Amino acid sequence: MSQTIATPPTVRLDSDVIGKPINRTDGPAKVSGAAKYAAEFGVTGPLWYGYIVSSPVAKGKITKIHADEVLAIPGVQQVFSHENVSSFAWFDRAYKDDVAPGGSPFRPLHEPEIMFNQQPVALVVAETFELARYAASVLRIEYDVEKHNTDLDSVIGEAFDAPKGKTGFVPPPKPKGDMNKAFAEAPHKVAGEYIHRAQHHNPMEMFATTVDWLGDGKKMKIYDKTQGAPNVQQYIAKIFGLSTDEARVISKFTGGGFGSGLRPQYQVFLAVMAALELEHSVRVVMTRTQMFSFGHRPHTLQKLRIASDDQGHIQALEHKALAETSQFENATETVVNWTGILYNSPNTNFDYQLSKIDVYTPLDMRAPGAATGNFASESAIDEMSYKAGKDPLDFRLLNYTYSDPTENKPFTSKRLDDCYHEGAARFGWDQRNPEPRSMRDEKGMLVGWGVAAGCWDASMQKAAAKAVLSADGHLTVNSATNDQGAGTYVIMTQMAAQTLGLPMQQVTFNLGDTNMPAAPVQGGSWTANSVGAAVKDACQEVGKKLLKLAQKMDDSPLAGVNFEDAQFVDGHIRANEDITRSVAIEDILAASGEDKIEADGKAGPNPINQLKYSMHSHNAVFVEVKVDEDLGTIHVTRVVNAVAAGRIMNPKTARSQVLGGTVWGLSMAMMEETYLNNELGRYMNHNYAEYHIPVNADIHKIDVIFVEEEDDIASPIGVKGVGEIGMLGVAAAIANAVYHATGKRVRELPLTSDKLL
């Protein structure tokens, strides 16, 4: 094992800002309450409030809405429902957003039919929030109820192969060899079924939209909670037939998303519809209960079979998954593929199917698909290691693959082996007694140590940015991207400052406004890579213009120097070959007489280079649990999460992403489950008191290790992204540690105490 731990990252120059743990530039606004979220913007003129009424039935038809009774209350402006909302767009296509799955999107207040419990059925608009809430509470609605089915187990027989088409979805890899024969003949084998039920994103900020009606035709400023303002804009513009000028969408701060804000949610439709109909500013905020009324991580059933030879080499590997989807859309995730990317096996079989039930369409939730598949496969790999008589870490190293077996392509970079070694050394894995139930702490608690690996794809999307250097030397860069807490504000400021060699305080990065150059929704761990490359491109274009202007100066020391041979450092442009040939940027600006220098930048994937490779980030997670066998309680006392995700732009914010991912993995493993009552067809624990997520007292020591990689193929700026990878491995490592502590293999999440007793 490698013994080296921890030397600081290589820093080229003192003035370098990329790779340094710099505080968030938006930090002071967030800690002082100055940061404005969607429900907090002021409007021109008075503001009216919309309150959403949700269906208490899962399937049926509205027969009567007694709107007249609440319209009689002074101050109530309107009750919107399918009875009085005109049909805006004829075709389904208008309701399709950038990341919609196949099928027919839900159209709010479009028709009397009820397709899922908590479906929004009316919007009550009144002059104050208190009045709108009261009026909504006394609105009588009559339904014809039909029999629903929300029980996935009952429709297993109706499963169909998941269709292609959704952004990011990769169908299961083709089978190899003869799975059944290899499994039958192998000396060591495991087979297991794994289950988790629905989970809901529950970002702290509830979905909200404030529409500022500007009183100039149909012009609006739409302040929306989203992970992508441009996606919301095209959705709204298509449905209501608006121009981009009329439907300007703004999202400066997003109080968490985790996937819930990838698609426009129904409150933005309702708020814009009400504003257009009433020609008035309107605010609509969901309740916490309504946060359980749209997408979720789907209830998924998985089956795994693995077999190895006597030396511990995997001979057969099968991973099958069946997930729920709604009656109206086919939500797909990449669930089983990752198993085939992490381990080599001559005989494989993969399968991924969907079945329809009467719920809302599932929606990508942090590390979608991967978190689901990873729990099952890394639990099964662990079980296999015991069957083969190998240490779980040794077993993973023994079956390590340097190329992607599902596509027969090399990785652009993969330092998972170093993640294993560095993580194990930090954790002290060599002190582990391999026997289950063999370790106890000083209080007599059972102690378990578990390990698991994770894998996520490093992808890139098209993105654009604009850079403006003003005469006073201040650089402003804009892109319509998002910061749901990832650190986009600070790392893009770093990228711009680094590219033009300016100090951080001389650079401002703005985001979240559709008047800015387009960027993709913030998801899939692609923002740092895609937007970062666009910001760099825009700044380089400014740099080229600066160099030309410098060369126009009298007796320019930079005469004849190509852009490629120049460096931008400490506010100067210098010749690489002789850094004494140098001009200060402020002098160039002064001599030029220009009041600003601006340039557009863009970035996107490079398929010609990238198609030859498999591009992934990896991690290895080591976990210690302590179990009180009498009570069945589990405490995660220690985690080491070692991540290989290319270059780390800001270790402080990247570490926070991995800390957050670790907490999410722990939460998935031990707490999260939305209870679906099949009789009522309703999620029952739809609030923070009953839908459990960790609190401060649940979280203990978490070490984060970044094993840096050099990778100029996966990304022109060497970045793979860290939003998802930190969550992977965690749930399985906890389940594996619980097995090591207790000898009990739990294959159903969450790992609550009843499953151990």
Partner 1 sequence: MSLQFIQEPLDKATPHVVPAQAVTLNVNGEDHTIQIAPWTSLLDALREYMDLTGTKKGCDHGQCGACTVLVDGKRINSCLALATVYQGKKIQTIEGLGTEENLSPLQQAFVDHDAFQCGYCTPGQICSAQGLINEGRCKTEDEVREHMSGNLCRCGAYTNILSAVMEVLHDGDVVVDNGVLITVPVASTKASSVE
Q: Using the rule CB under 8 A, is 410 a contact of partner 1? A: no
CB 421 within 8 A of CB 2: yes
Taking CB under 8 A as the criterion, the residue among 660, 681, 716, 729 binding partner 1 is 660
Question: Of 127-135, 161-169, 301-309, 469-477, which segment contacts partner 1 by CB under 8 A?
Answer: 127-135
Q: Using the rule CB under 8 A, is 131 a contact of partner 1? A: yes
Taking CB under 8 A as the criterion, the residue among 487, 532, 605, 681 binding partner 1 is 487
Active-site annotation holds for 193: no
Taking CB under 8 A as the criterion, the residue among 15, 149, 287, 510 binding partner 1 is 287
Burial of 168 (0-12, 13-18, 19+ CB in 10 A): middle
Annotated catalytic residue within 246, 378, 624, 724: 724
Question: What is the spatial distance between Cα 139 and Cα 131, in angstroms, rounded to a whole number?
Answer: 12
* Cα Dmax for the chain: 86
Residues 6+ away with beta carbon under 8 Å from 72: none
Q: Using the rule CB under 8 A, is 680 a contact of partner 1? A: no
Shortest distance in whole angstroms from residue 240 CB to partner 1: 27
Residues within window 686-705 making contact with partner 1, judged by CB under 8 A: 687-689, 693-705
Angle between helices 229-240 and 266-278 (to 10 degrees): 50
Question: What is the spatial distance between Cα 174 and Cα 337, in angstroms, rounded to a whole number?
Answer: 10
Taking CB under 8 A as the criterion, the residue among 14, 33, 279, 608 binding partner 1 is 33
Question: Of 136-144, 152-160, 522-530, 598-606, which segment contacts partner 1 by CB under 8 A?
Answer: 136-144
Shortest distance in whole angstroms from residue 10 CB to partner 1: 5
Q: Using the rule CB under 8 A, is 211 a contact of partner 1? A: no
Taking CB under 8 A as the criterion, the residue among 12, 13, 31, 586 binding partner 1 is 31
Residues within window 68-97 making contact with partner 1, judged by CB under 8 A: 69-70, 72-75
**φ, ψ dihedrals at 78, nearest 5°:** -165, 150
Residue type, 381: I
By C-beta, is 196 or 414 nearer to partner 1? 414
Question: What is the spatial distance between Cα 7 and Cα 377, in angstroms, rounded to a whole number?
Answer: 33
Q: Using the rule CB under 8 A, is 400 a contact of partner 1? A: yes
Shortest distance in whole angstroms from residue 253 CB to partner 1: 6
Shortest distance in whole angstroms from residue 667 CB to partner 1: 8
Question: What is the spatial distance between Cα 275 and Cα 270, in angstroms, rounded to a whole number?
Answer: 9
Which pair of tokens denotes residue 676?
């679906």
Residue type, 68: D
Question: Of 64-72, 83-91, 156-164, 621-629, which segment contacts partner 1 by CB under 8 A?
Answer: 64-72
Taking CB under 8 A as the criterion, the residue among 398, 468, 504, 591 binding partner 1 is 398
Question: What is the spatial distance between Cα 455 and Cα 724, in angstroms, rounded to a whole number?
Answer: 9
Strands in 93-140 per DSSP E: 102-103, 113-114, 120-126
Shortest distance in whole angstroms from residue 243 CB to partner 1: 30
Cα distance between the two ends of the chain: 38
Taking CB under 8 A as the criterion, the residue among 193, 310, 430, 710 binding partner 1 is 710
Q: Using the rule CB under 8 A, is 311 a contact of partner 1? A: no
By C-beta, is 159 or 699 nearer to partner 1? 699
Question: What is the spatial distance between Cα 199 and Cα 206, in angstroms, rounded to a whole number?
Answer: 16
Place of tokens 């009567």: 64
Taking CB under 8 A as the criterion, the residue among 175, 346, 632, 651 binding partner 1 is 651
Q: Using the rule CB under 8 A, is 27 a contact of partner 1? A: yes
Which pair of tokens denotes residue 659?
């800390």
Shortest distance in whole angstroms from residue 460 CB to partner 1: 20
CB 106 within 8 A of CB 20: no
| Pair type for strands 281-285 and 47-54 | parallel
Question: By CB under 8 A, how many residues form the interface with partner 1?
Answer: 120
By C-beta, is 69 or 748 nearer to partner 1? 69
Residues within window 250-269 making contact with partner 1, judged by CB under 8 A: 253-258
Question: Of 132-140, 439-447, 520-528, 581-589, which segment contacts partner 1 by CB under 8 A?
Answer: 132-140
Shortest distance in whole angstroms from residue 48 CB to partner 1: 12
Q: Using the rule CB under 8 A, is 7 a contact of partner 1? A: yes
Question: What is the spatial distance between Cα 91 and Cα 83, in angstroms, rounded to a whole number?
Answer: 19
Shortest distance in whole angstroms from residue 724 CB to partner 1: 14
Residues 6+ away with beta carbon under 8 Å from 217: 246
Dihedral sign computed on CA atoms, order 193, 198, 203, 209: positive
Query: How many residues can be counted in the chain?
Result: 757
Which pair of tokens denotes residue 564?
């490629």
Residues within window 140-169 making contact with partner 1, judged by CB under 8 A: 140-147
Taking CB under 8 A as the criterion, the residue among 16, 56, 177, 748 binding partner 1 is 56
Q: Which residues are catalytic?
A: 724
